[in-house]
Structure 1
């Protein structure tokens, strides 16, 4: 869910200590740049499609071409037409009448259904390790189930739910200007709900308001009451009792017991049976606090809810298990290459445990844990792909990485986003959009008036640059393939031409396809999985080919003929003296794989078009905050106080990034999220090792990277991908 605030553009005369200056108005552009539309041609990009490889039936059945023709609706706009009644009194009571007409599904015989569930029955029959067996009295077990269920939830009271939805509708209308929802996305979810199967909702938690807004939105669209999971430690007993009657869920204390505890097994079985037919949304009391803090705000918010295409979990499980292959850890893949022990990249995939194995995941088998991690990667990829890019992210990216004329580049970047199949969450007059975006960023930029009524936009140094870098990260998934390819090309040219060499000199060199594949693989393995969002069903070499195709499509790479070979356009027959064009059917002494030598001989060079140097630099800078943070983390290995806990060492690294930012002015890297990502990557790479201790797991430097020589090799390996 992306939010925008209304505000007015304010000009503040301030000097530019960092030297980064961007002109607001552009010259030389026609009237076609005066309006920005969120679509190219007739349709806007439809985003959030499920995986066609893992869920082909869902990809086909839960999508129709007519969905793209549907527009948006305002879910908090309730009029006389939304009720069954008409008249002047209805127009004044339409909110209340609408809430009375909402369908609240009854929850009857819940304890009996839980007693008959598979998990509880397996526990009673002794088929589960730690189960009670058949010797326990069923009445006692039923009472225990009712006690645990009473702590988890209470049957929703329809009157209270309708009263709360009426009050929430009035409150949301006071807080929001509108809440936009794509009718096509909602139609897919409604079609999936018609099958009568459990519907589970997962989200990326964009704001704290999601815990209140999304249940109301699903209730208003006829999907029933969304059960929200709350933390019982943050709620008083009275509030907990009220939330239970409104459909809230509270995990019992027994659910966190050890795996061999019978009380914990029974509690987890009841929780699983109670939450199976429900969509879960984790929230906290901070949601209500944030709503209370927003009540006195003078600005009203425009919000937009994105829903990705639903898919069948059963279909995914069957397809995902059939395409599993061998994988290696990041330490096995990358550490020998970093240390110079080998040059060939292993022909296997990377397995990175970026999903924490805690809580309920510990009760699963290793195969099921792997399934959950890969499912999380699929869901996160679809969620990021379905989120619209907002104007503040585009503005922050231009201010950090382009430093030229904002009017023309804002329109250009919007068009590039739409061409890559991503959606934007804005439209309107170009100058109004820029003024609106700058008003949202007024605390982090300074506006200077220059001659002819033009404005100069200067990012404020310090925390302002850090905030702009965080906003620009929202644009990284759009250009991620091109950015990985550009940084890989930069790493390939690092040892051949000077970093500050002219573009014409870099364009002379030929780049072989094998060398490009190797550099892309190295960078792809180095990047964290939650950033790369590579689907588990997609192989690394397919991704390398996709990156190479993107570089060719955007015009950065131009195919060249192999030196000394005949042109590719020459289709004349070759001589048959050395190699026959046919073989006996039983001759397996030579295979067609020998023809792969022709593919290995493909060469490319950098394009010499006028826009290529700036675009290449723009792509490299998109990944520069993360790569620079990794390089500084490698330099910090000489100063870090180890052993330490993961949280403690992350805090040490973050303080080092802040100190380096003050010295060198690289505030884009002073982000705690980048520090966490660097620690996790170094742990998977084998630079940091984790050992158990009475106070908890502690990190210490591995013996391999205890030497300063290997630390410098690691830093040099990372810096080859950074474009200064």
Structure 2
């Protein structure tokens, strides 16, 4: 599949030329492409970092002739030599010619021991040797010596780079990188900027792909923070020679490592030394578990202490057609590598490296404000408990996005510093997710999960793929596929085939595609569809707000054809009645309450909740679901003049503004559009958030069986078991059973004041707060969340 944009200006090879056993020949129109160039994605925030935006603007995404490049496609033109032998060893010659920046260890361990941070912890440790000499300190932190002495060996890096390229050539069809983004990175590197690459954790291959892409483009290979424990000593020794910072052998997870008194000061000192040496870093963050944010907090603390002048953050968006499994143990790894010998490569990877921006500018300028951040229970509890009809204004404070470990640091950061670190982590999660391209499997998975759960014919899928692709391009979202419509759909179905039932009738050339109603298939579709949900988050929030209003109207007895009061997913009986008028203020209030429940990464943190809720309602007007209905009055709403004749303006010092801020104080009303496609579109958008909302509903029912506090390590597995049991009883909605969704639900209920954390000697215990030990309050919480589920 090859995509030409208007005369071949950009040529993007997006899929291997192969066909599966199942084939059909339907004449469909090609996928539409809007404009002359692809959307420019990855620009830094105009509000938080305007100086960085203008600094790299001329060098970022402004060279359309570069286009995309497959780093696995290496031939003799990538070397300095030509000939028959060169064509057979061109990959080896290319790797040997790539620029490598060596990183000697020298006296790094001594310098790390001399830091005030490590000395304070050793002085407070009763087990530390008396006298406090350097030799005694070195002996105390000897268990961290392999971590501190992590280095980048040019010989090992070239050998591993060649092996990884050969391995990926057997795993992926291609690895596409946007060459337009490397111009700004090369300029920042030449200027001496310290680069820190931040990505959202999806697979253990994420960091390997980033290092390989930078290595092939002659940029400094970063030191990578590995969140996975690797016990094999042979594999650990190799990884530590190519810049991989591993966990201590005594810690099974990052949480266990953070509980060690010496771990945090040692790794913070290590980061300081690496940045002093001019090295780059690669950090992965997780929106569900919150892991990774502590590394960004350490870097910001070093800048605040003036140990490091400044760093440039580079969000990295990695999109997979299908995420392959990769094992970290040597035995499993060798068996997996052996299986590649008879396995055909499948799937595409698209990598976008976003525009670099200054971390110091982001937090020191005061543009990234956290003064309006408030606990979630202050924002929503009065509404949930029927003590107020309107939620409080302010931003939701996500406490679990930056795990707090009292045993790691001698001095606790201030409340404002913690909130600022959380805001930076949330901003980077949103930025990295925003620059991800939508792959063909992402698009098809969202259609099968949110629109065609019971299956659809091939022609219907082709029609919906063309429509959804056009909607994505209109929203300035890059897509990682191209070619004719049937080729795109056929290629996606070939990758998703293990999770599909394809029924081909002999007398019919239009086969039926049905998603398998199993846990593994549904979780796979849900993982693939998340990037589409992120793109349509405004419309999804607005649609759920409309569903909540219809739920309220049905409860008042206005219509008898609405769904019953249930979050279990019962099908709607009878015809849906849409001939109702929805008040703008009430609709916006419903959207505002829902956006407080969204996990991090979906909503831009620098935008106020009020502005986001208003934009969510406006988005439904733009896509034709809602129609504004003006109330008869002396002066129309569209009249900008007051009755007194004075023109009003919005305040110039207000940072959080949107197009909706220019509305009159008098509220207007909306009616739901009546075309035939509108109900399907409304339910399609509602389904995008239904899985996450259903997890919260099922978690509240799990609290009915929780009589005593449970250890945090046992709470989430038991919750996942309850979610799976509930889904098995209903034989559907398996997307609400993932461990990531359970983590996010637990974090939300902690912020909401439903669950409380109790720190004891045995660890952290989770229990129900006294307020929600009452069954009546848990029922109110259940009803509040279930109102956003249309079925």
- Check whether the contact 2:641–2:647 (CA below 8 A) recurs between aligned residues: no
Q: Which residue of 1 aligns with 2:615?
A: 546
| Displacement of 1:264 | 6.0
- Classify 1:598/1:311 alpha carbon distance in 2 versus 1 (closer, same or farther; 3 Å): closer
* 1: CA distance, partners of 2:480 / 2:762: 47
Q: Which residue of 2 aligns with 1:17?
A: none
- Classify 1:479/1:186 alpha carbon distance in 2 versus 1 (closer, same or farther; 3 Å): same
Q: Which residue of 2 aligns with 1:279?
A: 281
- Which structure is richer in relative contact order (CA contacts within 8 A, separation 6 or more)? 1
Tell me, yes or no, if structure 1 residue 566 matches structure 2 residue 635.
Answer: yes
| Displacement of 1:143 | 9.2
- Check whether the contact 1:49–1:308 (CA below 8 A) recurs between aligned residues: yes
Correspondence for 1:444 among 499, 507, 530: 499
Tell me, yes or no, if structure 1 residue 455 matches structure 2 residue 508.
Answer: no
* 2: CA distance, partners of 1:249 / 1:582: 60
User: SS of 2:760's equivalent?
Assistant: coil
- Check whether the contact 2:630–2:668 (CA below 8 A) recurs between aligned residues: yes
Q: Which residue of 2 aligns with 1:15?
A: none
| Displacement of 1:523 | 0.8
* 2: CA distance, partners of 1:572 / 1:143: 77
Correspondence for 1:434 among 486, 489, 494: 489
* 1: CA distance, partners of 2:357 / 2:142: 33
User: SS of 1:416's equivalent?
Assistant: helix
| Displacement of 1:580 | 7.7
* 2: CA distance, partners of 1:429 / 1:713: 51
* 2: CA distance, partners of 1:235 / 1:639: 38
Tell me, yes or no, if structure 1 residue 247 matches structure 2 residue 318.
Answer: no
Q: Which residue of 1 aligns with 2:30?
A: 35
Give CA deviations for 1:569-596 in whole Å, capped at 9, x if unaligned.
Answer: 668995xxxx58599xxxxxxxxxxx99
- Classify 1:73/1:723 alpha carbon distance in 2 versus 1 (closer, same or farther; 3 Å): same
- Classify 1:524/1:294 alpha carbon distance in 2 versus 1 (closer, same or farther; 3 Å): farther
* 2: CA distance, partners of 1:570 / 1:258: 59
* 2: CA distance, partners of 1:136 / 1:74: 54
Q: Which residue of 1 aligns with 2:356?
A: 310
- Classify 1:289/1:529 alpha carbon distance in 2 versus 1 (closer, same or farther; 3 Å): farther
User: SS of 2:596's equivalent?
Assistant: helix
- Check whether the contact 1:514–1:600 (CA below 8 A) recurs between aligned residues: no
Which one has the bigger helix percentage? 1
For 1:1-16, what aligned pairs fall within 5 Å after superposition? 9=20
- Classify 1:249/1:652 alpha carbon distance in 2 versus 1 (closer, same or farther; 3 Å): closer
Tell me, yes or no, if structure 1 residue 507 matches structure 2 residue 579.
Answer: yes
Give CA deviations for 1:401-438 in whole Å, capped at 9, x if unaligned.
Answer: 32352121111111111111212111122122222222
- Classify 1:146/1:109 alpha carbon distance in 2 versus 1 (closer, same or farther; 3 Å): farther
Q: Which residue of 2 aligns with 1:331?
A: 377
- Check whether the contact 1:231–1:284 (CA below 8 A) recurs between aligned residues: no
- Check whether the contact 1:11–1:448 (CA below 8 A) recurs between aligned residues: no
| Displacement of 1:377 | 0.9
* 1: CA distance, partners of 2:183 / 2:335: 30
Q: Which residue of 2 aligns with 1:624?
A: 690
For 1:290-689, what aligned pairs fall within 5 Å after superposition? 292=337, 295-301=340-346, 302-320=348-366, 323-358=369-404, 362-363=408-409, 365-366=413-414, 367-403=416-452, 405-450=460-505, 451-463=507-519, 464-497=521-554, 498=559, 500-501=561-562, 505-509=577-581, 511-530=582-601, 533-568=602-637, 598-668=664-734, 669-689=736-756
* 2: CA distance, partners of 1:197 / 1:580: 54
User: SS of 2:681's equivalent?
Assistant: helix
* 2: CA distance, partners of 1:494 / 1:51: 37
* 2: CA distance, partners of 1:655 / 1:299: 36
* 1: CA distance, partners of 2:504 / 2:249: 61
- Check whether the contact 1:111–1:145 (CA below 8 A) recurs between aligned residues: no
- Check whether the contact 2:259–2:407 (CA below 8 A) recurs between aligned residues: no
| Displacement of 1:250 | 4.2
Tell me, yes or no, if structure 1 residue 60 matches structure 2 residue 63.
Answer: no
- Check whether the contact 1:115–1:121 (CA below 8 A) recurs between aligned residues: no
* 2: CA distance, partners of 1:582 / 1:570: 10
Give CA deviations for 1:627-667 in whole Å, capped at 9, x if unaligned.
Answer: 22222222333234532223433333323322222332333
* 2: CA distance, partners of 1:582 / 1:77: 61
- Classify 1:318/1:67 alpha carbon distance in 2 versus 1 (closer, same or farther; 3 Å): farther
| Bigger shift: residues 281-290 or 173-182 | 281-290
User: SS of 1:496's equivalent?
Assistant: helix
Correspondence for 2:778 among 691, 711, 720: 711
User: SS of 1:692's equivalent?
Assistant: strand
User: SS of 2:547's equivalent?
Assistant: helix
Unaligned stretches of 5+ residues in structure 2: 1-13, 285-325, 563-573, 649-660
| Bigger shift: residues 372-381 or 155-164 | 155-164
| Displacement of 1:338 | 0.6
TM value normalised by structure 2: 0.77
Give CA deviations for 1:119-147 in whole Å, capped at 9, x if unaligned.
Answer: 94545998998699xx8666877898999
* 2: CA distance, partners of 1:335 / 1:582: 38
* 2: CA distance, partners of 1:265 / 1:495: 50
| Displacement of 1:344 | 2.3
Q: Which residue of 1 aligns with 2:299?
A: none
User: SS of 1:458's equivalent?
Assistant: strand
TM value normalised by structure 1: 0.84
- Classify 1:137/1:661 alpha carbon distance in 2 versus 1 (closer, same or farther; 3 Å): closer
| Displacement of 1:269 | 5.2
Q: What's the Cα RMSD here?
A: 3.9
